[in-house]
Chains A and B, each alone.
Chain A
Amino acid sequence: MIMQFAEKYFVMILTAAVGTLGYCLIINVKRNKIIYGCLGGMFSTFLYCVCVECGLSLLAQNLIPAAVATLYAEVLARIVKAPATVFLIPAIIPLVPGGRLYYTMSAIVDANADGAKLYARETLIIALGIAVGIVIVSLAFYHVSHKNIQYKVRFDRVIYQHEKEMSGERKRD
């Protein structure tokens, strides 16, 4: 069964890795971090293939790899000390519905209303799946990592100054 899986999806995973490498070069990721991007792209494609093989719905097929890729990027960002975007963007690229976008357009050109509707719906579902996957994991990390942002300090300070003025007025009375 593993052999069948490998035979069926080997080309896909390999090309995903190569394509991700190309994307890293285009957006100019630092040379020593390209390898992480490639691994992320490969990993998310692998998960996508597993999800397809398990017969999950179109939404879940893209949601799960996107969520795991985000987890991968956020964890790696803390280990390697770089912005999470550097690892997240390459890891998500193989999931982007470029093929569906093309077939939507092609169906519209051919005046094939049913096909256009079907493909447009699928494109939107995939985009939604990726978005939700990223959001779920990032939200968790957002609450962990942005705890010490400085809004709170400033707010205390404003109250403090305000109170000082108030107490001064009271003393003058």
Chain B
Amino acid sequence: MEMDKEQCCENPALVMERALDMGETMLRCGAEILRVEDTVTRICTAYGGGIVDVFTILSLIILSWKTDDGRNYTLTRRINPYPTDLKKLEELNALSRYICEKKPSCEEIEQHIRKIMAPEKRRIYKSKLSGYVLLASAFAIFFGGNLRDGLAAGVVSVLMYLWNYFFSSHGRNRVVYSLALSVVAGVLCILSVYVGIGQNADKVMIGSIMLLIPGINLMNSLRDMMCGDIITGILRLAEALMIAVAIAAGFGMAIMMLGGLLR
């Protein structure tokens, strides 16, 4: 299945498309810009040599390739937001190593990518649900709550998972979505204390705040800025800060609406 150099140079657009596929999927799964640009460059160079220019920001990849026989090609691709998935990122990373070593044909690469990025079935994932419960209840206790607070945070997190399941955030503005979700979560936390499951409303709320906090954005923005991709770093930082403010505002609204129940 190996593809030789001449065959590739006849149709560089195909190689570029596959390279962009790799870049897009990696960026969507939560890779840093440097990793994306490096992967795209390496794939193009492995197949045809020449000069490769890649420019990537959070929502766009521009790839320009001057092949060895002197022709210029440019492709761009718009990137849509997607929830972070480190398992897919790892698999893509391994795939890019495999591509640069073995140089499989373009169809084979496409098949691999399709297999990794296969759309998930719309069902309740036990691992994710248990992740929500564990995270919320553990951090409710971590920040000083007692066992009943942890239990309440667990109940709230199950309801938040169901909300995520029915109104998933695909293709929506994450800031507005976080605002809506945190209003709901805040109301649920206060109700859980009012009903009598939890004792300290603040600890239950902290537990559910930890579910929403944009930790990955913050981390990636730092890593990007260090590698010299200041634009994307600032974009990610701005998004993270806006989400943090939206979370605070959402819980604040919930307290303003239902805070009377706690007294």
Contacts and interface: CB of A to CB of B under 8 A. Distances in A.
B51 interface: yes
Interface in A82-124: 82-83, 85-86, 88-89, 92-94, 96, 98-99, 101-106, 108-109
A134 B135 contact: no
A23 B131 contact: yes
Contacts of B41: 150
A80 to B, nearest CB: 10
A134 B219 contact: yes
Contact of A98 (B30, B210, B216, B259): B210
A146 interface: yes
B220 A85 contact: yes
A89 B219 contact: yes
A22 B219 contact: no
**Chain A at the B interface: mostly helix, strand, loop or mixed?**
helix
A29 interface: yes
Interface string A42-79: 00000000000000000000000000000000000000
Contacts of A89: 86, 215-216, 219
Contacts of B30: 27, 85
Contacts of B226: 135, 138-139, 142
Contact of B215 (A25, A28, A92): A92
B120 to A, nearest CB: 10
Contact of A149 (B38, B87, B131, B252): B38
B209 A98 contact: yes
Q: Give the interface size class of chain B.
A: 35 or more
Interface residues of A, number: 50
B227 A25 contact: no
Contacts of A103: 202
A131 B141 CA distance: 25
Nearest to A131: B222
Nearest to A12: B142
B134 interface: yes
Given A11-B141, A83-B35, A109 B259 contact: yes
Interface of B: 30-32, 34-35, 38, 41-42, 45, 51-52, 84-90, 93, 127-128, 130-139, 141-144, 202, 205-206, 209-211, 213, 215-216, 218-220, 222-223, 226-227, 244, 247-249, 251-252, 255-256, 259
Interface of A: 11-12, 15-16, 18-19, 21-30, 33, 82-83, 85-86, 88-89, 92-94, 96, 98-99, 101-106, 108-109, 127, 131, 134-135, 138-139, 142, 146, 149-150, 154, 157-158
20 contacts: A18-B138, A19-B134, A27-B30, A27-B216, A30-B87, A88-B219, A89-B215, A93-B210, A94-B142, A98-B143, A98-B209, A99-B143, A99-B206, A101-B244, A106-B202, A106-B252, A109-B252, A109-B256, A138-B222, A146-B227
